Copies of this chain bind each other. A is one copy, B any other.
């Protein structure tokens, strides 16, 4: 069923039918109603391709997911982010086009996407420090929003990010307040902008309290369960082991917890953990009041919704100046943190 057929059935011109369906004022209300009913009856939906050709709008947004052996495995946060973005797109009638791309061919992919003109805008995932994609996309003139930021990039661009620095600074402060001084950072890959920022927040908090950051207590890698386990196990074997861990994701936190228990210690009593929690659907940090992990929490699904909405605004009005949005993470206290053991003992001995 296409426009031509539908208009023949109705005994109207294609013009009128098209206008009736698209809400233009120059068709009579009676006719409009008749047209709309016929459209529903015959399951008429305009062809995206033809509509796109005629209007110059693709009504689709592209997401380019970098994937390589080097890093950025298929990150579980993508699933939630995309689910959030998908909600926004669905509400506004946009499609979402996903490209999983080997990241050494990423530049070419963006060029191709721009030339093929099958998306109206792009969400950039996983920005790195000095990420070249910002300049590339600006040059290509394709509207885009970065999920995260690209430190070191001078050009103005639109982004939506969590305040990672502040979140990790607060988390570190929280541990310091509990008396911890040996605080380990089990970070994500520090080429990634978000991980670099988290480290900065962590270090700033330590320095502000006069605690020297110890390179032996900092790791950076892909955020897997196994990585958390290995990293924590190694650090716990140090002569002066950490009494607290700051981890970059729930998954690596699970690994850290396992290492703590393997060492015969108890999480929350002997060793504390604060993790970042993206509030993923399938990996909830406990249900409700008493979370398993003390965490800096920020919903990545909500981030997806908002980033998509920002991008659609940009698509509708390309003259608009770049927009940005900084989401704050909330620090929720769970069962994984407690006073530093030394301090607990000191408190005990004071009472005696």
Contacts of A352 in B (CB 8 A): none
Task: Please name all residues of chain B whose beta carbon is closer than 8 Å to the beta carbon of A10 when the two chains form the complex.
Answer: none
Residue of B nearest to A98 (CB): B96
* B48 and A117 within 8 A (CB): yes
Please tell me the size bucket of the interface on A: 35 or more
Cβ-based interface call for A87 (8 A): yes
Interface contact A118-B74, CB-CB below 8 Å: no
| A351 interface residue per 8 A CB criterion | no
The proximity string for A residues 17-46 relative to B, scoring 1 for CB distances below 8 Å and 0 otherwise, is 000000000000000000000000001111
Do B79 and A282 have beta carbons less than 8 Å apart?
Answer: no
For residue A151, CB closer than 8 A to chain B, the reply is no
A216 interface residue per 8 A CB criterion: no
On chain B, the residues within 8 Å of A223 by CB distance are 282
**Stretch in A108-116, A197-205, A336-344 touching the partner:** A108-116
CA distance A3 to B319 in the complex (A): 28
**Chain A residues numbered 62-107 whose CB sits less than 8 Å from any CB in chain B:** 65, 67, 73-76, 78-80, 82-83, 86-87, 90, 95-101
Which residues from chain B contact A44 at a C-beta distance below 8 Å? 115
Any B CB within 8 A of the CB of A53 = yes
CA distance A307 to B46 in the complex (A): 29
Q: How far is the CB of A85 from chain B (nearest CB, A)?
A: 8
A170-178, A239-247, A283-291, A324-332 - the one binding chain B: A283-291
Shortest beta-carbon distance, A260 to chain B, in Å? Answer: 11
Interface residues of A in 279-322 (CB under 8 A from B): 280-284, 286-287, 301
CB distance from A163 to the nearest CB of B (A): 24
CA distance A111 to B83 in the complex (A): 21
Contacts A76-B79, A97-B97, A99-B86 known; A225 to B283 CB distance under 8 Å? yes
